[in-house]
Structure 1
Amino acid sequence: MDRNSIFGLLIIGAILIGYTYLTKPSEEEIKAINTRDSIARVDRLHNEEIEAARLEGLKTQYAEVKEDTVATKETYGAFSGAVNQKEEFITLENKLVKLTLNTRGGRIQNVQLKEFQTHDSLPLLLWAEKNSKFGLTFYSENKPMSTQDLFFVEANGATSVNATTSEKGVSMRLMVGDDKYIEYKYTLAPDSYMVDFTVNLVGMQDVISRNSNFVTFNWQEDIPRQEKGRKFENQYTALYYKFFEDEVDNLSITGDKEEDLATKVKWIGFKQQFFSSVLIADDAFKGVKLKSVDMDENSPILKNFSAEISLPYEGTQLETHPMKFYFGPNKFNTLREYGKNLDGHDIQLHKLINLGWSIFGWINRYFVIPIFNFLEGFISNYGIIILILTIIIKLLLAPLTYKSYMSTAKMKVLKPQIDAINEKIPKDKAMERQQATMALYKKAGVNPMGGCLPMLVQFPFLIALFRFFPASFELRQQSFLWAKDLSSYDSILTLPWNIPWYGDHVSLFCLLMAGTNLVYTSMNGQMQSSNQMPGMKYMMYLMPVMFLGWFNNYASGLSYYYFIATLFTVLQTIAIRKFMVDDDKVLAMLEANKKKPVKKSKFQQRLEEAAKQRGKK
């Protein structure tokens, strides 16, 4: 290397040293660079921690999913694929009924009757969803299994099926494999309250435990309020059932009740006051357990009904259990029509309506209802129909009313003579008084019980109509005068407190009924003889007052009927007294009877002969 090269390198070194010195950063710039480097280093470390945490989370999540999958498989076995899916709804409807089906459980979510509303103008749903069950329970792989919370799929993929023009159906399937599933099939015809419901078990012989000889169908529902008067509606809400080829019965209306039925059952009905849900077997249910639970009086739910039904299981490739649901009104003619159209046999659905037992039910079925239905064809106002029905009944019973009045009139004209007997014979000789009074009656030809027989004949009509009006669907939400609903109470005043045995309102028809009964009682009191039992007079006046407590919460149509019937009886009594019966003529007739020889029955003759024989001894 020569001198020039060395000199050049020194110059270049000097330039680099000078440039480095001149361009070095200030202390502030050095601090900023150090701060930026520190932040970058912290960010890098933080990102590394986040990534590490993410990877750890993925590992944990995977472990949890794997654990959940194992747990689900252990819990649900062959049905593990039907867990944790999305809940979907399918509607099946016609002009009368709308069913909402839920893929969770493949069940009926609720039932709407499209023609009707609740008392507060809301859609009428037969079931409340709060505490309901609908599905099968059985054993699978030695574990109890329920379809209640397992997810079904809709076989046809539809979300809305309208059956207004032709019969339509929806198939809900709980899939286990390609040819293994539980199927609920719902079929609805146009203009029908009846829904065909079929349970199919397809290829389940290796899924349901082989030692099972039945599967259990569980049906449980909360029964919501639909009408205005809770107390009154609750009295007509009950769980009914019909024994196979036998009578209809029901669980107790009040209190909690449970019944295990060992005999065959044709149908089970969750009955409300005016509507029912009835599950009907095509053949018969061979093992049924029923339960009814009362709810608190402040609850919007009246009762909770449940039915556990054993369905036979034989472990074959295909097992079918056909049934039917009736969702509709408790209208006598409607229930009788649906009950008779099933396989040509009458399954007595109309007995869901309690029209009274024995003669009371006969009067309603074969007399009151035909007249009521006939009048419906001409008159749309049900208040007028009740008025005409009352007049018809009172006119038919008019001969008995006249006979009863005549018996009372005879007792009235004999009252002075009976008073004379009572004055002549002291009180301590009550038996002698009674014998003398009966001798007078016999001599005058008066039967002291003559007024009772006509009343006994009229009594079944009073009891029959007591059953008819609260159960009459036709009166539901029908208004008349101030009454907005003839099937419920007609409140004209709401009280600021609740009176025991009376309520928190004032029903005008109930007041009118009690008033006319007081008037009628007063009229009868004037006709009574003085030998009536002590205190009976006051008891007679107490009854109309008790009516206020009994009928204040009852159907206003019933109170209106009793008011009109009693008023008509008062008018009949006034007319008979003024135009048909004269006390002087009645007395003259009785005096003439005294002159005739007294005819004795053979029984009386034997009694007198026996008395003579005892006297000789």
Structure 2
Amino acid sequence: MQQNNGLDKSQIISFAVLCLVLFGFMFYFQNKQSKEDAVKAQQQKTEQAKNTVKQTQASNINPNVTPNAIQTANLSNKELKVEFASLGGQVSKVELAEYKAYDHKTDNADLPLYLITKNNSNYGFQFKDKTGKVINTKDLVFAPTVNGNAVTMTANYNGAVIQFIYTLLPKYTLDFKVRTQGLAKITADNKADFIWDYNVRNLEKGRAQEQSHSEFSYAFNNYKDYDYDGRTTMEEDKETLNWIGVKQQFFASVIESKTGFTQSKGNQETVEEGEYLKKLNYEGFVQMTGSELNQDFTWYFMPLDLPLLKSYDKNFDEILPLGWSFIGWMNRGFFIPIYNFIASWGLTAGWAIFLLTILVKLILSPIMYKQHKLSAMMRVIRPEIDEVNAKFKDADPMKKQQATMEVYRKAGVNQMAGCLPALVQIPIFYALFRFFPNFIDLRGKGFWFAKDLTAYDDLIKLPFKVPFLGDHLSIFAIACTIVILIYTVMTSGNMQQPQQEGMPNMKVLMYIFPITFLFFLNTSASGLSWYYFVSNAINILIILVIKYLILDEKKIHAQIQANKEKPKAEGKFQKRMREMMEKAQEQQNVQQQQRKKK
């Protein structure tokens, strides 16, 4: 029997030592980072004591209106702080009071979280007067009046009165009513053009990741259907949109129309660097009755928290990109509830992910057992496979393949069974790829040296940028790559190498894969890297336990010999493969005979 290509006892000890080194490496950098954070915090306090707060002036959007003439009004509750500007009568500032934004200067989430500020959002209703002149409410000057939790913005235009009535409500909601009187005297339009320009502000650490999650979101068909667009021009000229929103990684700004937006279109432009991630422009029409604009709208400036989104009953939960179909179901029905249940025990986010990983491994353990039993059977029959390869070395490849399959069939080995674990883990991987960077409960939750498990850890900073890698190295990503390499070494020992010239060496490809994984994980959520580090470390332990404590290769060899003595029923898949090979062999023989005749 050929010698086992798995790890021996000395290699097991090496693996254990390596794990200890990795954990020691992590703890070292954790302590180093804690000291650096303390120094940064002290420096920040000193700077705050020296600097005075500067008042920000509104920019002069309308050249006919001076900054001093722009008035503001404010409303606030425990969730939102909203400012309204007299120019355009629009929302000029929105702060989510219970959340903080990431500060690239301090490497901490310690800034006020503004979805709207510094004129990054600009909207208004546009129509034509009877002379054909285009009028947009964003250019008009409104007078604000505050009454409790409501602000009424009033503007006059050629005798017509336009009022925007805003009422701040719970659950991140701002009621928005538009009322006009006398507008019919100056316009004959039966619909108004709603134009909204929005620049997405950078609020998170991972710029590229947040940028990829910034996009248009909208619902139609009486809130039943949902769609999004993150890369192309948006055109919905046939649908009536119930709401249109700009989604970011963890937050969204949404406006709902009670009668809907028609003939909607939009475009977007990616911003490579600076304060903003994307520029989005939207245009849609709302109905006017008798040339008067009396419509009800609602603004939502909300975190993408799944229970909150569901509570609105407006299909907002679709904004959260947890994956389509079965992928989304796994996140909504399994990963989120299980994580919340484990976290309710009072554990930190990192250890909750650790236990979640163990639970997933326990669920998949029967499949893994079958996989490693198949691997053991392949090791046992390897000498016979090598004999077939040697016997048919110079023969037709089809005959060699048929002989190889006959060995597998007699031994009772189903090669396709080894593909099952890989197929099962593909949807799990994609579900977690969606889960970690979009689950708001993990936002800002640190673990060891990773300050935010929804972003990458960049404790090791590089003095230059590496293509596809960035200007840092993630320790979690490096640790994950190392354990994947170890796992690859342990599972590739029995892989049959291609006998034909020009065929790729599968072992080499398997070793390249973990390296490419490093490039992917280095800028991904550190929670994902931590999950896969633990997952693959457990895989290695499971292999060692199965190999040395559970599976007995002598018994497996005896079982295979017994299988050979029994008349073996041919499975459907094996029958189809045999028939296909026989047919291919016949065609090849016919072609050879025709060549000889010529």
TM-score (norm 2): 0.81
Query: Contact 2:371/2:417 (CA < 8 Å) preserved in 1?
Result: yes
> Is structure 2 residue 82 aligned with structure 1 residue 99?
yes
Q: In the alignment, which residue of structure 1 is the partner of 2:252?
A: 276
Matches within 5 A, 1:4-43: none
Distance 1:540 1:605 in 2: 30
For the residue of structure 1 that corresponds to 2:102, the secondary structure is coil
Q: In the alignment, which residue of structure 2 is the partner of 1:182?
A: 162
> Is structure 2 residue 150 aligned with structure 1 residue 169?
yes
Q: In the alignment, which residue of structure 2 is the partner of 1:291?
A: 267
Query: Contact 1:257/1:292 (CA < 8 Å) preserved in 2?
Result: yes
Count of residues in Structure 1 that have an aligned counterpart in Structure 2: 513
Distance 1:150 1:590, change over 3 A: same
Distance 1:321 1:85, change over 3 A: farther
Distance 1:221 1:452, change over 3 A: same
Matches within 5 A, 1:555-594: 555-594=525-564
> What's the CA shift string for 1:208-244, capped at 9, x where partnerless?
x22x121112111111100112112111111111222
Q: In the alignment, which residue of structure 2 is the partner of 1:314?
A: 289
> What's the CA shift string for 1:503-550, capped at 9, x where partnerless?
101100000110000000000012334558641100000011111111
TM-score (norm 1): 0.79
Matches within 5 A, 1:535-554: 535-554=505-524
> Is structure 2 residue 307 aligned with structure 1 residue 326?
no
Distance 1:215 1:463 in 2: 43
Distance 1:484 1:608, change over 3 A: closer
> Is structure 2 residue 202 aligned with structure 1 residue 225?
yes
> Is structure 2 residue 91 aligned with structure 1 residue 117?
no
> Is structure 2 residue 316 aligned with structure 1 residue 349?
yes
Distance 2:573 2:389 in 1: 28
For the residue of structure 2 that corresponds to 1:129, the secondary structure is coil
Deviation at 1:600, TM superposition (A): 3.1
The letter for the 1-side match of 2:154 is R
Give 5+ residue unaligned stretches, structure 2. 1-63, 104-109, 591-598
Distance 1:331 1:545 in 2: 34
The letter for the 2-side match of 1:214 is K
- Which of 235, 240, 248 pairs up with 2:226? 248
Matches within 5 A, 1:152-551: 152-154=142-144, 156=145, 158=146, 168-176=149-157, 180-189=160-169, 191-207=170-186, 209-210=187-188, 212-245=189-222, 246-253=224-231, 257-295=233-271, 297-315=272-290, 319-338=293-312, 340=313, 347-530=314-497, 534-551=504-521
Provide the alpha-carbon RMSD of the alignment: 2.7
Q: In the alignment, which residue of structure 1 is the partner of 2:567?
A: 597
The letter for the 1-side match of 2:124 is G
Distance 1:274 1:177, change over 3 A: same
The letter for the 2-side match of 1:265 is L
The letter for the 1-side match of 2:290 is G
Larger Rg computed on CA atoms:
1
For the residue of structure 1 that corresponds to 2:294, the secondary structure is strand
Q: Which moved more, 1:244-253 or 1:143-152?
A: 244-253
Distance 1:369 1:385 in 2: 11
Query: Contact 1:521/1:540 (CA < 8 Å) preserved in 2?
Result: yes
Distance 1:129 1:609, change over 3 A: closer
Distance 1:238 1:422, change over 3 A: same
Distance 1:600 1:380, change over 3 A: closer
Distance 1:506 1:177, change over 3 A: same
Distance 2:534 2:391 in 1: 45
Query: Contact 1:204/1:315 (CA < 8 Å) preserved in 2?
Result: no
Query: Contact 2:164/2:179 (CA < 8 Å) preserved in 1?
Result: yes
For the residue of structure 2 that corresponds to 1:286, the secondary structure is strand
For the residue of structure 1 that corresponds to 2:74, the secondary structure is strand
Deviation at 1:299, TM superposition (A): 2.3
Q: In the alignment, which residue of structure 2 is the partner of 1:141?
A: 130
Deviation at 1:609, TM superposition (A): 13
Query: Contact 1:128/1:221 (CA < 8 Å) preserved in 2?
Result: no
The letter for the 2-side match of 1:323 is F
Deviation at 1:360, TM superposition (A): 1.0
Give 5+ residue unaligned stretches, structure 1. 1-80, 163-167, 341-346
Distance 1:131 1:454, change over 3 A: closer
Deviation at 1:605, TM superposition (A): 7.4
> What's the CA shift string for 1:84-120, capped at 9, x where partnerless?
9821000011111011100111010011111111112
Distance 1:83 1:476, change over 3 A: closer
Q: In the alignment, which residue of structure 2 is the partner of 1:30?
A: none
Deviation at 1:589, TM superposition (A): 0.6
